[in-house]
Structure 1
Amino acid sequence: MTVPSTYTEQTLTSWLVDRVAEYLRRPPTEIDPAVPLAEYGLDSVAALSLCGDVEDAFEVLIEPTAAWDYPTIRSLAGHLLGRLEART
């Protein structure tokens, strides 16, 4: 899993799209960052795994409910960017 070297909402969105696409076994081009993850059928196990991937990749704690609290990739990327900026 390649982690972006600079953190912008766009790079985080792209990283999250790739991860979600992998969980859903779909090409990243089929994942719209503005569509709620639940509409793609992302289940709680995949959502928890996604949160774990975020923590591992970016070394930042993220709530286990983040995928539900921030229901789109775009909103989750914004939340993650805020968390990353807060630690510096």
Structure 2
Amino acid sequence: MATSAPAPGTRIVDREEIRSKLLSLVASYLEQPVTDIQSDVKLVEYGLDSIFALTLCGDVEDEYGIEVKSTLAWDHPTVDAITDHLYDTLTAEA
């Protein structure tokens, strides 16, 4: 039995890749090593502000080709929560 290949242009998403990308983004915004960022800590505890939150939204939209609400970081306050939301959104679209 043959497995079907994804349709051209369809991007296979992996939850851990999403988490890793988000951790890298947060670390770069904070100018800290990625190892200093914990995925289950609320982003406000790292100093999240509205500019940081909007920048994150823009970077997520650019990376995954989807629109996200400007309240993404407030509605999903940790990297883990954003990861789950993005994974669910991306796999629902596939």
TM-score, structure 2 as length reference: 0.85
Amino acid at match of 2:25: R
What's the offset of the Cα at 1:86?
1.5
1:17 aligns to 2:38 (yes or no): no
Quick one: which amino acid aligns to residue 7 of structure 1?
Answer: V
CA contact (8 A) 1:24 1:42 kept: no
Partner of 1:72: 78
Distance 1:46 1:57 in 2: 16
Q: Which aligned segments of 4 or more residues in structure 1 are displaced greater than 2 angstroms?
A: none
CA RMSD of aligned residues (A): 1.1
1:54 paired with 2:60, answer: yes
1:81 equivalent to 2:50? Answer: no
Equivalent position of 1:36 in the other structure: 42
Q: Partner of 2:5 in structure 1?
A: none
CA distance in 2: counterparts of 1:48 and 1:38, whole angstroms: 13
Displacement of 1:27: 0.6
Q: 1:45 aligns with which of 51, 64, 71?
A: 51
SS in 2 for 1:33: coil
Question: Is there any run of 5+ residues in structure 2 with no aligned partner, and where?
Answer: 1-10
Runs of 5+ unmatched residues, structure 1: none
Contact 1:9/1:77 (8 A) holds in 2 = yes
**Bigger radius of gyration among the two:** 2
